[in-house]
Each structure stands twice: as C-alpha cells, then as structure tokens.
A and B are shown apart, each in its own frame.
Chain A
Amino acid sequence: MNLFGLIPSFLFVLLASSVGAADKASLTIQGAKLSVSSADGSLLNSQTLSPPETASPVTLGPTDVFKLAFTVVTSDSKTPVQPHQVFLRFYDPKTDEEGIHPIRVTSAGKAKLELNMAKPPLTLPPTTESPLEVTLLLGSYNYEPASFPLFSLTLPVSQPPPVHPDEASYHPLPSIFHTFRAEEKQPPQVISAVFTLLVLSPWFVLLVLWTQLPLSVPHLFSSEVLPFVVLLGAFEYLLVQYWVSLKLPQVLSYGAILGFLTAATGKRALSSLSKWRLGEKQ
C-alpha cells in the first residue's frame, strides 16, 4: 500500500512538470474492451469502452476473471504510443481507500490486463459492498497526461483494512470533569462554642494563679523599661496585623525597623535592670 501510495504523488510531479508545455499533443485510448468471464470460461459481461464516456457498472464474483485490453494512441493522428506510465486506479469514495495497479504497455501501445479474482492482486484496495471507481491514468514526458474514468466496479467484500496502531490517538478524548473533595463540614455550633470556652478557660486559670502571687513590677513604668515593653507589644500587634491584612514583604520591612528599635531599647532596659538587680544585692 505504501509503495503504491507514492505513485500518485510521482504522477502529480509528472503532471505539474508538463503544465509548462501547453503545446504538447494529448493521448487517448482506442479499441478498449472489457470482459468478465466465470471460472469455467463462460462469458458474463462484455463491453466496449469509448472514453470519456463511462461504461456500465461491472460486478465481479469471487472466482470471476476480468480482462481489459486497449491501445494508447495520440488523440489527433491516432498513432500508437508507449506512454511511460499507465495505471488503473481503484478508488472507494466512501472509505477513501485506493489501489493503484500498474499496466504494462507494449511499444506498439497495446495494453492487456487480466484480474483473476480467485487470486486478487495486492494492488486492489480493501473493499466493502460499495463500488470502486476505476480510472485510467496515462503519463508521458512527451504528451499531455490523461485521466479517463472508465466504469464503476463492485468486487467481493475483502477483509477490513488493518487499523493503524496510532489510529486511536486521532479521536477527540472524552471531556475531563474535575471532581473536588467534598467541603469539610463544620461541627455543630454548640460544640464549637463549648470548645471555644474550654480553649479560653486557661486564661482564667492563668489570671487566678497570677493574682495569687505577690508580684511587684517597680520598674515597669520607668523610662528605661517602658519603651521596650511597648515595642514588644507593637511587635505582637504587627504579627496580628500580618494575620489580618498585611503581606509578607510589608511585615518584613516593618519588622526590620521594629526589630532594630526593640533591640536598642531592650539593651538599654535590660542593662539598667541588671544594674538595679546587682545594686540590690550589694
């Protein structure tokens, strides 16, 4: 199939190269006859072909023998010509399958073709019940190329053509549907409320425990310590704001400023605390 698939493109090159020379003489065929005989030799169908008229449809049985004979001549002087290329093209318009069968032509322009359906040639395309269009293609360097639709041909049904291994890749895939995990369900509000109170209850424990302790913060509001405590609080406020609204770069830049100030005030506050502590001891 591949080998013969090349031939039409080669013919096309031939056709294209001959377009330039418009003054070339054209070819036609003469005395074309086709016959269909059964396996035992009895004649089933016999027709004379006169292109460009097409002959009546031809049907071949599984053991029939098909014969075609014609002479290639120039269309004006009817001189026999041996063209360089002569092919019969079998084309199925429904399945788009085609077969190209080369025909040998003698130097006197005579061509004979015999197809025995008991031994079908490999050049026939895979067939269905639909008829094939049979076309004769003539190609020559010295003459205009010619193409004659001859007749439609119904052949016995063949095996289906083999499916190309990549064939499945050339179909649209089923559309993709995204499935999302189900929404997490919230616990009942009562349970949420109870656990909110439970989680907050340690604050109550902490406050009770701290009020039990005899605590004194004599230096908290001194000018050395207060800025440090305030700045620590500001740091926590910044982090809460980070959670609520701010973006990371803003937090980092504010944090750098705050961190510098906090470190400076912290050093001052803690060194003065240390002095007071050592002073008390002495």
Chain B
Amino acid sequence: MAPKSSNSVSPTAASNALDSLWRSYVDTTPSRLKLIDAFLVFIMLSGAIQFVYCVLVTNFPFNAFLAGFSSSVGQFVLTASLRSQVNPQNREQFKEVSPERAFADFALGSIVLHFFVFNFLG
C-alpha cells in the first residue's frame, strides 16, 4: 500500500472508528453506567482544571490544591471501581460482590476520602 493513499484515507477511517465507537457506547451501555460515566467526566474535568490553575497561576494555598486535586483523583478511583463492579459485563469476575455491596463500599470509601479532604482543606 502506498503511503500517500494511507495518509489520505486514515482521517476518515479514524473518524469512522470513533463514530462507531460512540454509537455503540450510546446504544449498548445501560443508563445507570452512563450516569456513572457522566460523573467520571465531571470529576476528570474538575481535577484537570484545578491542576491547570496550579500550574499556570499559583499553587497557593497549597493545602487547598492538594485537598481539591486529591479529592478528584480519589473520587475518580472510587467511582471507577464502582462502575467496574456494577457493570453487568463483569458479572463473572465479581460473582460474590452484589451491586448493593459495591455501592456500600463506594459510600464508605467516599466518606473516608471526604474526611481526609476536609482535614486537608485547613
């Protein structure tokens, strides 16, 4: 295959692939998982903006930045693990973990995380 043709073809192919990926996501993902995904996007955006602020403007007060950024990271991890545990496609791997149990873990972990975050806020 000539490099020229591959160069000219690949953008549309890539956009096609992304398009079909998005379609399949929208069509096949349960709405409860979409709810969690929206929350993950929210956390990611707010963490990224805080990081950009720290890099571009100032890290003062540093403890507030640490609390805000680490709450984003920690909440993202907790939510991502909740998502993987309640995902019906992962049923086989989490046989002994019911979705309710996963949510209880999520709630407990979030409360502990928030306790530390508020501790850091100072």
Binding site for B on A (CB under 8 A): 184, 186-187, 191, 195, 198-199, 201-203, 205-206, 209-210, 213-215, 232, 235-236, 239-240, 242-243, 251, 255, 262, 266, 270-271, 273-274, 277
Contact = CB atoms under 8 A, between A and B. Distances in A.
Given A239-B114, A243-B121, A271-B100, A202 B57 contact: no
Interface of B: 31-32, 34-35, 38-39, 41-43, 45-46, 49-50, 53, 57-58, 60-61, 98-101, 103-104, 107, 111, 114-115, 118-119, 121
A160 B63 CA distance: 61
A51 to B, nearest CB: 83
Contacts of B49: 195, 198-199, 201-202
Given A187-B57, A206-B42, A239-B115, A215 B35 contact: yes
Given A191-B57, A243-B121, A274-B98, A215 B45 contact: no
A165 to B, nearest CB: 48
Contacts of A262: 107
B60 A206 contact: no
B35 A277 contact: no
A202 B44 CA distance: 9
Contact of B100 (A210, A215, A273): A273
B57 A240 contact: no
Contacts of B101: 270
A240 B41 contact: no
Chain A interface SS verdict (over half): helix
Nearest to B58: A187
Contact of A202 (B31, B46, B58, B99): B46
A213 B118 contact: no
Nearest to A184: B60
A266 B98 contact: no
B45 A202 contact: yes
B43 to A, nearest CB: 8
A214 B31 contact: yes
A209 B121 CA distance: 29
Given A195-B49, A202-B49, A240-B118, A215 B42 contact: no
A147 to B, nearest CB: 75
B31 A195 contact: no
Closest 10 CB pairs of A and B: A209-B38, A270-B100, A206-B42, A202-B45, A184-B60, A202-B46, A243-B118, A202-B42, A239-B118, A274-B100
Given A215-B31, A215-B35, A242-B119, 5 more contacts: A195-B57, A202-B46, A213-B31, A213-B38, A255-B115
